[in-house]
Structure 1
Amino acid sequence: MKPLNSTIRSSDAAGDLVKRLDAAPGSLVGAEAAWDAFVEQCPEATFFHRIGWRRILEETLGHRTDYLFSERDGQISGVLPLAQVKSLLFGNALISVPFCVYGGVAAQDQQAAASLTEAARALAEERQVDYLELRHRERRNPDWPCKDGLYVTFRKPIDPEPDKNLQAVPRKQRAMVRKGIKNGLQSAIDPDVDRFFPIYADSLHRLGTPVLPRRYFRALQQVFGADCDLVTTTTEAGQPISSVLNFYFRDEVLPYYGGGTEQARALAGFDFLYWEVMRRAAERGYRWFDYGRSKRGTGSFSFKKNWGFEPQPLSYEYHLVRAKQIPEINPLNPKYRLFIAGWKRLPLFVANGLGPWLARRLG
């Protein structure tokens, strides 16, 4: 029988070890608590480094995970969550972290970071995957191929006072928020995904994008509890028109999965929705608003920039194993344009039936 935390690589003379959580998610209570305690205090760590994602990736999406951590003098010195996403359509990759905008190594020093990076590289070679992908915010491995011109993130501090936050929004975008208020829009925290999922699935269908299964969003609520909520916007008549699932980590709020009906745009439903997330988060003491990842040249990129957020390039770094070049699995790739156009034409019930099978392989 394998030990619960098997050593997969010893480091240099300083004594760092790289280990892997080998037991099923949820069975290593002490080790998982120590992982999250490290993530909570490590400046490089993000919400997507939390141990709960291991359960989501394995039990809900069916992917093999390798949650690596470095250890020095019996204490965790770094973490690297990995999952293997494998499909005939999109290849075989080891990613930190699939379905998440950030990931990669989070360590207390360069020694621990180097040990984890080398362990991940060796694991990718051993598995003979197409590539290893580390989703860092900044360049970490300057000799690795890097995709740093496609994706950006938008992060900005927010004030405890709602009026100050509203005044910080550029004039034209502020007018859209006020339009939503004048239209009588209201917002509420939802206890479940019942209103969110149909809105989100319909929104992705119009974009030509497959949707993850409803059980995935339910699992996010279950696993992350109070650190995951849903804000839904309704008309004066009570009709839901936009909804977003949010994550909370340390002093940050991260609106992550959002969508709206066709009616939402005319009523400023998207603008009001994200304002309400910001307002509610500021009142609860959160001090950073993370708008997440967008691709340059897309509508979501322009929308977030209109709020006064400056784009910050993301550095997705690759160690190529079987692949000859960096993968381009994104809607801007001309290779997928016919697929996207065809997906939009599918009846919604067909897209929602097929979407989860396909989406879980995208990563």
Structure 2
Amino acid sequence: MHIVNTETDRTVTEEAWNAYLFAHGRGSLYAMAQWGELVREVYGHRDIRLAALERRHGVDEVVGVLPLVAMRSRIFGHKLVSMPYVDMAGVVADTPEIEQALVTRALEIGRETGSRCVEVRQAGSLGSFDGQETLDMGAGVYTLTVARDKARMVLCLPSSSKDLWSSFKSKLRNQISRGTRDGLSARVGGDELVAPFYTVFAENMRDLGSPVHSKKLFHRVMERFSGKANIILVEKDGEPVSAAVVCSFGKALQNPWASTRRRFNKMSPNMLLYWRMLEFACDAGHTTFDFGRSTPGEGTYRFKKQWGPEPHPLHWYRFTPGEQPRSEGPAGERDRFGKAMAFWKKLPVPVTRVIGPMVRGQISL
């Protein structure tokens, strides 16, 4: 078995990489080759894809992959992440030994690039690393911390949206219907809905005190995942009120981004938005819907829980060079800037749309 970096070795094509992910039970949307490419195109970060190859029947076959992005920031320092801006990607491998080999190579690249840490975001446990705090990986000694404070909310779907609607309690159905009674409407589209989506998204991010992603990111998602990515838009008399991006991976539909303009909250547009996403998922033949990550007990977790999903704890592994005390997790990137967030909330939305992407691209969350 040997490991190649697709930056310099073209042995593993984009098609072969993605085919391995689709065939493997732990493959994910965010580990696909296109995801790292669009991050590079939008923010200029280095896209690194490590593939483990094994000779079988005279042919090199993919037996493991690890996508990474090298984030270089004057504000937050340099680090390798698999993958930034999303819940998970991480290592997908046939055996624990291959899993370890891929992580070891990532740590070597981390040292070569002067990264302060390597962060591997997994949907589940990396069993070969659990229970360890100090590791001698061959690439050096590392302190390992694992954050498990957030969970994906995943709903198993019936074969039709009609069956899903019938499974809801009357209270939930009434909350969904309220929006249409108040004149809200919903539609599904693609790249042509990026502009109204971004109107909603940018305003909501400003209200949260968070720099907004570049609009280009969403255009690239629609382009790179054409036929697999859609935007759900809720409107009131033609004005965008609430919106979300959904992307499919096999039989799963995932929701990486959703936002609502607060001034319309009294109409409960979120209820119509999420119902329309679930309806779309069922009617398109998906078997699961991933609401994205939430912190158990918080408001967004409770909102998602009412739809009936089950929580699946995320495992974010953070490898820091040396035997160091526990360092802050990825959330610290925002926690350290509480005053900045309060200031950001006061900025005009047009200003945040200009300067926000320059900051947001450096924040891995």
Q: Is TM-score (shorter-chain normalized) higher than 0.5? A: yes
Aligned residues of 1:189 and 1:230 also touching (Cα < 8 A): yes
Q: Residue 3 of structure 2 aligns to which amino acid in structure 1?
A: V
Aligned residues of 1:128 and 1:321 also touching (Cα < 8 A): no
For 2:68 and 2:15, locate their aligned partners in 1 and report how far apart those are by CA, in whole Å: 18
For 1:154 and 1:135, locate their aligned partners in 2 and report how far apart those are by CA, in whole Å: 16
Provide structure 1 residue ranges, at least 5 long, that are not aligned to the other structure. 1-15
1:160 aligned partner? 159
- Per-residue deviation at 1:124? 1.8
> Which among 116, 138, 141 is matched to residue 124 of structure 2?
138
Q: Residue 96 of structure 1 aligns to which amino acid in structure 2?
A: S
Aligned residues of 1:331 and 1:340 also touching (Cα < 8 A): no
2:33 aligned partner? 51
1:198 aligned partner? 199
Matched, 1:265 2:251: no
For 2:327 and 2:121, locate their aligned partners in 1 and report how far apart those are by CA, in whole Å: 13
Aligned residues of 2:12 and 2:51 also touching (Cα < 8 A): no
Matched, 1:180 2:166: no
Q: Residue 126 of structure 1 aligns to which amino acid in structure 2?
A: E
For 2:202 and 2:223, locate their aligned partners in 1 and report how far apart those are by CA, in whole Å: 20
For 2:220 and 2:147, locate their aligned partners in 1 and report how far apart those are by CA, in whole Å: 31
Matched, 1:22 2:15: no
- Per-residue deviation at 1:209? 0.8
For 1:353 and 1:298, locate their aligned partners in 2 and report how far apart those are by CA, in whole Å: 31
Aligned residues of 2:92 and 2:99 also touching (Cα < 8 A): yes
Deviates more, 1:202-211 or 1:313-322: 313-322
Aligned residues of 1:331 and 1:337 also touching (Cα < 8 A): no
2:342 aligned partner? 341
2:66 aligned partner? 80
Q: Deviations over 1:30-80 (max 9, x none)?
A: 611110111111111100011001211212111012200000010000100
Q: Residue 221 of structure 2 aligns to which amino acid in structure 1?
A: L
1:231 aligned partner? 232
2:359 aligned partner? 358
For 1:252 and 1:221, locate their aligned partners in 2 and report how far apart those are by CA, in whole Å: 17
Q: Deviations over 1:156-204 (max 9, x none)?
A: 2111222321243455433321222333422112332111111110011
For 1:30 and 1:312, locate their aligned partners in 2 and report how far apart those are by CA, in whole Å: 31
- Per-residue deviation at 1:117? 1.6
Deviates more, 1:144-153 or 1:83-92: 144-153
For 2:291 and 2:177, locate their aligned partners in 1 and report how far apart those are by CA, in whole Å: 20
- Per-residue deviation at 1:29? 9.7
1:114 aligned partner? 100
1:238–1:128 distance in 2 versus 1, CA, 3 Å:
closer
1:243 aligned partner? 243
For 1:114 and 1:328, locate their aligned partners in 2 and report how far apart those are by CA, in whole Å: 22
Give the 5 Å matches for 1:257-336: 257-321=257-321, 324-330=325-331, 334-336=335-337
1:63 aligned partner? 45
Indicate the percent of aligned positions where both proteins have the same amino acid.
22
- 3-state DSSP of counterpart to 2:337: helix
Matched, 1:103 2:89: yes
Aligned residues of 1:124 and 1:321 also touching (Cα < 8 A): no
- 3-state DSSP of counterpart to 1:226: coil
Q: What TM-score do the two structures reach when normalised by structure 1?
A: 0.89
- Count of paired positions: 344
